[in-house]
Amino acid sequence: MARYLVTGVAGFIGRSIAAALLARGEGVRGVDNFLTGKRVNLVGLEAMEFMEGDLSDPAACARACAGVEIVFHEAALASVPRSVADPVGTNVNCVDATLNLLVAARAAGVRRVVYAGSSSVYGDAPTLPKHEEMLPNPISPYAVAKLAGEHYTRAFARVYGLETVVLRYFNVFGPYQDPTSHYSGVLAIFCRKMLAGEQPTIYGDGEQSRDFTYIDNVVHANLLAAAAPAEKVSGQMMNTAMGTRITLNETFEILRELTGFSGKPAYAEGRAGDIRDSLADIRLAGELLGYAPIAGFREGLRRTVEWYRTGGGVE
């Protein structure tokens, strides 16, 4: 019997959470519509009950939630530029899907939903680090959609008593992140290109910074969020990050060492909807979950490069 449901399980973060649960001997169901998830990411998850389904379909949500106690909701269209190109698609797959899932979770008697939030909701406010009491200021359709999902999730705690925890992820990277799409995360793209000897492109001057968060830390935070006492965490929202930031130019230099790439990056015009700097205050997750990063940025980047070097991410 599946005690846990992971949505977006064929995506990089969902896959990683499911693998950690299976390693603990838990019963897991996973759902994905393969819009951006990859079948190859399910390799190694054979002990999981897999269901192909689209969360914009309420019936699929009902099937996915049946009999489950805890949901990790990772399914989304995770890209700022994709949302600029297709705001309606982002809304359907981030907002409608989340609301349908919450309705189904409540109807099925799910105890807790852990929601994958996004640091993009902080937008362009210059204050660093970003802390949870700051007013959200979404500047892309994607950020609006992730914020709407966050509010729906918290409202379900308030009005229906569903236990919910929102984790605002900051630029997650690591093995299993798809490097092949134009909409992929920057580190996945850079790893693939630089290992292949291809020149990566930096949008803008490369001085934008991110709190790049290695996947093991995100999995760790999710497992803590699932286990924490409801009176402490339910209805809460908290940053999930390393609590350090690095510019793209600096990251490129580290990747040069790790990949052996000898060229320079190409520079192109900055991307619409991009935020400039991002850095998390991670004290709240520390207080509420006992969260602290368990794997550092450089070590995470080294493991990530090795994963792509040995053929990861290629179907």
217 binds ligand UD1 (CB under 6 A): no
89 binds ligand UD1 (CB under 6 A): no
170 binds ligand UD1 (CB under 6 A): yes
Contact yes or no for 143/118 (Cβ under 8 A): yes
Stretch of 75-83, 88-96, 152-160, 225-233 lying at the interface with ligand UD1 (CB under 6 A) = 75-83
Who's near 126: CB < 8 A, 6+ residues apart?
277
132 binds ligand UD1 (CB under 6 A): no
* Chain residues 260-289 in contact with ligand UD1, contact rule CB under 6 A: 271, 274
171 binds ligand UD1 (CB under 6 A): yes
Q: How far is the CB of 186 from ligand UD1 (least distance, A)?
A: 3
Q: How many CB atoms lie within 10 A of CB 177?
A: 27
Angle subtended at Cα 109 by Cα 218 and Cα 76, rounded to the nearest 5 degrees: 35
**Helix spans in 131-266 (H):** 141-160, 186-195, 215-227, 230-233, 248-259
Q: Quick check: helix, strand or coil at residue 49?
A: strand
Stretch of 178-186, 226-234, 285-293, 299-307 lying at the interface with ligand UD1 (CB under 6 A) = 178-186
Size of the site for ligand UD1 (CB under 6 A): 22
248 binds ligand UD1 (CB under 6 A): yes
Q: Is the dihedral angle over the CA atoms 142, 146, 147, 149 positive or is it negative?
A: positive
CA separation, residue 285 to residues 79, 274, 278 (Å):
24, 25, 17
208 binds ligand UD1 (CB under 6 A): yes
Contact yes or no for 165/115 (Cβ under 8 A): yes
Q: Whose Cβ is closer to ligand UD1: residue 110's or residue 255's?
A: 255
Q: Which of 2, 13, 78, 165 binds ligand UD1 (CB under 6 A)?
A: 78
Find the catalytic residue in 115, 122, 142, 176: 142
Is 142 an annotated catalytic residue? Answer: yes
203 binds ligand UD1 (CB under 6 A): yes
Contact yes or no for 51/30 (Cβ under 8 A): yes
201 binds ligand UD1 (CB under 6 A): yes
Q: Quick check: helix, strand or coil at residue 244?
A: coil
Who's near 124: CB < 8 A, 6+ residues apart?
137, 139, 275, 276
Who's near 39: CB < 8 A, 6+ residues apart?
10, 315
Stretch of 1-9, 43-51, 72-80, 288-296 lying at the interface with ligand UD1 (CB under 6 A) = 72-80
137 binds ligand UD1 (CB under 6 A): no
Q: How many CB atoms lie within 10 A of CB 84?
A: 16
Q: Which of 186, 215, 225, 279 binds ligand UD1 (CB under 6 A)?
A: 186
228 binds ligand UD1 (CB under 6 A): no
Point out the residues that are catalytic. 142
Contacts with ligand UD1 by CB under 6 A lie at 78-80, 118-120, 169-171, 183-186, 189, 201-203, 208, 210, 248, 271, 274
